[in-house]
Structure 1
Amino acid sequence: MPARFRAEQVGSLLRPAELLQARAAHGESKISLEELRAKEDHAIRQALEKQRRVGIDILSDGEMRRGSWATGMAEAVEGFVAQRVELEWKGPGGGREGSTLLAAGAKLKKTCKLTAHELPFLKKHAPGAFKVTVPAPSNFVLASYKAGVTDRFYPTHGDFLCDLADIIRDEIQWLVSEGATYIQLDAPYYSHYLDPTQRERMRQTGRNPDAEFENGIEGDNSCFRGIPRTNLTLALHVCRGNNRSRWYTEGGYDVIAEKLFGRSDVDTFLLEYDTQRAGGFEPLRLVPRGKSVVLGLITTKEPNLESQDELRRRIDEAARFIPIENLALSPQCGFASVAAGNLLSEDDQWRKLELVVETARRVWD
């Protein structure tokens, strides 16, 4: 299928300093929620206008209202408890560090929409087509299933995934009913199944990474069942972690490509491809006819601006394995998967998005 949009951005944008200060002040009860919302509204209006001026084909609100890419689950779903873990990040300032993740400590119960405070404003103010991002349910099977805690309420990963999928399906149904025409599932945890180190850790604990990955895809697919697909783009974003310019996993798509591309019930794949960590383009030969791929060739992790000639060369290389009309271009991930953002400036960010648009126009117009 020819790509509907040629110049994309994954979703999150760097938060302006004024918004970060307002969020901190709200956390300390120094300003009201209404005052914080006003700052968010202003930041979103600015982000939408800048995307329009740059020429991005599908707009987002920059996830300005979120603390992280998956914030909505904790705010909209009861049953999660804070869990202190150690994560081993790679890249600038990498190494083992303590972090707080969500663990399921009760049966999950959705109490409100994840995006109810986002969609109405975005729909009203977006000067063109827009996307809404939601976390794939499969993420939480890896991130939030804690032995000795979660298994008291969900005996198996499958039981847990079923409830998670119901929550996200309800969200997607609502988004579509409210007029959203581009919905993106973010699935960074898929990259655990392509990383040799992570796969071995799973095996050492008696788990089968291939079977788990297949179950994750089926769970994510179930989010779309019963959803009217007319005039709707469903997308899936896969990256290798994106936190303050660091990453978590490494490896090419080869080991998961057949299942990822062959079984995922989406129209478009947004794939990290900005470094050698992502491997080659050969797995793209397995993308079925009728689906498109957005090549994430431009990094959000560093300020250095890529060469347009090199980007065009890489697009041509990818086109050896998938028709070029089925390709599009974006950064590899968002610029601020967590509110603090990656280690580059807003000017760097907009230059990179300008490069996305300029390159896409030269290749496909």
Structure 2
Amino acid sequence: MTRKLFPTSVVGSMPRPAFVRDLIMADPPLEAAEFKSKMDSAIRYVVALQEQAGLDVITDGEWRRKSYIGVIAELAEGFELGVNESDGRPWTTVVGKLSPKKPGFIAEEVRFLKSISDRLIKATLPAPALLGERMWDSEMSKDAYPTREEFVRDCVPILRREVELLIEAGANIIQIDDPHLCLFVDEEIRAKYEDPVGAMDFSVEMV
């Protein structure tokens, strides 16, 4: 396949139609085999949308994931699902030391994509520092990780292993997202950090 100078792709997740949201939020949850069968059909649909639009690089829309950052809880033990007090949404917090749980969870997404499309395949992962910003809590996490930085450093080998498995699965592009970095342009955000430049440098270093 000839690669284009400026290949086209989606940047974030694809909007989830109601039937995909129903699959993910089913209560009680669907049996694993039924969920996989129905989600595979949904992924075929979102891949067809991207191909029909003429995109050069496709993803599965991140439709298999309950949340983007929460995918780390599929890869590692040590997390607890609770509720975000500010808005009532389900929220995952680190409460124990990380240990591998299901390496290859995201690599499975890539293998399925390669079985149904001949386009370039992109896989996405959250950056370690982003996980620290969203999933570390000064009270709930302190017994396992007294500091946010300690938690972030332990995320690195978990994510690195997934990158290795993504390469083995045939991912053409691996996108590591840290949207929190863009917030540092805001003076009010920077003021919340003792050393905002150091925090930015740390985020980049962990990638």
Q: CA deviation at 1:63?
A: 1.2
Distance in structure 1 (CA, Å) of the matches to 2:188 and 2:90: 22
Partners of 2:55 and 2:164 lie apart in 1 by 26
1:213 to 185, 200, 203: 200
* Aligned residue identity for 2:22: Q
Ranges in structure 1 where 5+ consecutive residues have no aligned partner: 88-96, 221-365
Counterpart Cα distance in 1 of 2:83 and 2:44: 36
How far apart, in 1, do the equivalents of 2:205 and 2:172 lie?
Answer: 22
Counterpart residue type for residue 150 of structure 2: D
User: Match of 1:109?
Assistant: 99
SS of aligned partner of 1:109: strand
Per-residue deviation, 1:4: 4.1
| Residue in structure 2 matched with residue 8 of structure 1 by the alignment | 9
What amino acid does structure 1 have at the position aligned with 2:28? Answer: E
Structure 2 Cα separation of the partners of residues 154 and 127 of structure 1: 43
Aligned position for 1:78: 77
Partner secondary structure for residue 167 of structure 2: helix
Residue of structure 2 in register with 1:152 after alignment: 143
Q: Relative to structure 1, is the Cα distance of residues 142 and 34 closer, same or farther in structure 2, using a 3 angstrom cutoff?
A: same
Point out the structure with max Rg over C-alpha.
Answer: 1
2:21 match: 20
Aligned 8 A contact 1:101 1:143 in 2: no
Hey, what does 1:130 align to over in structure 2? 121
Find the counterpart in structure 2 of residue 181 from structure 1: 172
Task: Give the deviation of 1:24 after TM superposition.
Answer: 3.6
Q: 2-side partners of 1:105 and 1:123: how far apart?
A: 36
Whether contact under 8 Å (1:154, 1:160) holds in the other structure is yes
State the shift of 1:195 in Å.
Answer: 2.3
Q: What are the residue-to-residue correspondences of 1:200-239 with 2, within 5 Å?
A: 200=191, 202-203=192-193, 207-220=194-207
Q: Percent identity?
A: 30
The answer to whether residue 68 in structure 2 is matched with residue 69 in structure 1 is yes
Number of aligned pairs?
Answer: 204
Taking a change above 3 Å as real, the CA distance of residues 182 and 51 of structure 1, as seen in their structure-2 partners, is same
Q: Is the 8 A contact 1:5 1:57 kept in 2?
A: no
Amino acid at match of 1:18: F
Cα distance 1:193–1:100, how it changes in 2: closer, same or farther (>3 A)? farther
* Offset, 1:158: 2.9
Scaled by the length of structure 1, the TM-score of the pair is 0.52
Q: State the match for 1:252 in structure 2.
A: none
Following superposition, the deviation at residue 187 of structure 1 comes to: 1.2
Counterpart Cα distance in 2 of 1:128 and 1:209:
40
The verdict on how the C-alpha distance between 1:98 and 1:20 changes in structure 2, with shifts beyond 3 A counting, is closer
Which amino acid in the other structure matches residue 15 of structure 1?
A: R
- Larger helix fraction of residues: 2
CA apart distance, 1:210 = 1.5
In structure 2, list runs of 5 or more residues that go unmatched: none
Distance 1:109 1:79 in 2: 7
**Aligned amino acid, residue 216 of structure 1:** S
Q: 2:5 & 2:156 partners in 1: Cα distance?
A: 27
Other structure's SS at 1:61 match: coil
| Structure 1 vs Structure 2 CA RMSD | 2.2
Q: Distance in 2 between matches of 1:24 and 1:167?
A: 26
Deviation at 1:83, TM superposition (A): 4.6
Label 1:132 to 1:166 Cα distance change in 2 as closer, same or farther (>3 A). same
